[in-house]
Amino acid sequence: MTGRAVLVTGASRGIGRAVAALFAQHGDRVAVHHRDSADLAGELVASLPGAGHIVVRADLADPEQVRAAVDGAAEQFGGLDVLVNNAGVYTPHGIFDTSYEQWQHEWRRTLDTNLVGAANAIWCAARHMRERGGRIVNVSSRGAFRGEPGQPAYGASKAGLNALGQSLAVALAPYGIAVATVAPGFVATDMTNEHLKPPRGDEIRAQSPFGRVARPEEIAEAVFWLASPGAEWASGTIVDLNGASYLRS
């Protein structure tokens, strides 16, 4: 068995799928994580180049399921070299569009998945990387910096994810574990399908001087590099991948 052992959350579709495919193309073994897309995850694993890929299942909002998925992947691989925290939810909950009960629900679900789920996956993965080093890449969002007026819990969850990545980059460096973050703008996936239809989609594409949104493969390229052995010095970074649609200082 060759290649690194890589766990990608939310890998049955979208950005996660492109990330899983890129690692596999480079000879790594990939654990394709999903929550309720066993068929898609199974099809992906069967189609990936190379050998030794596996499917793992967990609702990331459930700490025990996260632990079982991370430990299960590490056990089947005989270790874990890379964790990509990609899974996330992005659902509308404008402040005047939601009841107080819906507001509670959206905040809890979004933070439990996007932030606490990622933190729990790191807690578990770090224990498998402690002796041998590793790479952790978190998929955040431009929204952490630019704001998400219609999805404020999402913006907050991604800002929290940025801070989590920075804190753990420091905490885990002595163990040879680098932690980095990518912050994409809009990417053409199932998550953004509805948003990208005209006329709203035209406005979104015009936010970038390139006049388009990203392809999932463009995000995967950055994730792959940040997870590479040569990227240790990028630990703690947050890489903007938004086609110059939002320039922060």
Sequence-separated (6 or more) residues with CB below 8 Å from residue 169:
178, 179, 180, 235, 236
CB 233 within 8 A of CB 174: no
- Using Cβ positions, the residue closest to ligand NAD within the complex turns out to be 14
Q: Are strands 238-241 and 54-57 parallel, antiparallel or unpaired?
A: unpaired
36: exposed, middle or buried (Cβ count in 10 Å: 0-12, 13-18, 19+)? exposed
| End-to-end Cα separation, the chain, in angstroms | 44
Closest contact distance (angstroms) between CB of 217 and ligand NAD is 12
CB nearer to ligand NAD: give 35 or 53: 35
Task: Count how many Cα atoms sit within 13 Å of the Cα of residue 101 in the half-sphere of its side chain.
Answer: 0
Shortest distance in whole angstroms from residue 1 CB to ligand NAD: 26
Q: How many angstroms separate the CA atoms of 57 and 7, rounded? A: 11
Nearer to ligand NAD, 44 or 177 (CB): 44
Identified catalytic residue from 90, 154, 175, 246: 154
Considering the complex, what minimum distance in angstroms separates the CB of residue 245 from ligand NAD?
A: 11
Residues that bind ligand NAD (CB under 6 A): 10, 12-16, 35, 59-61, 86-90, 113, 139, 141, 184, 186-187, 189-192
90 is catalytic: no
Q: Which C-beta is closer to ligand NAD: that of 10 or that of 134? A: 10
User: Given the complex with ligand NAD, which of 3 and 10 has the nearer CB atom?
Assistant: 10
Which residues are identified as catalytic?
A: 154
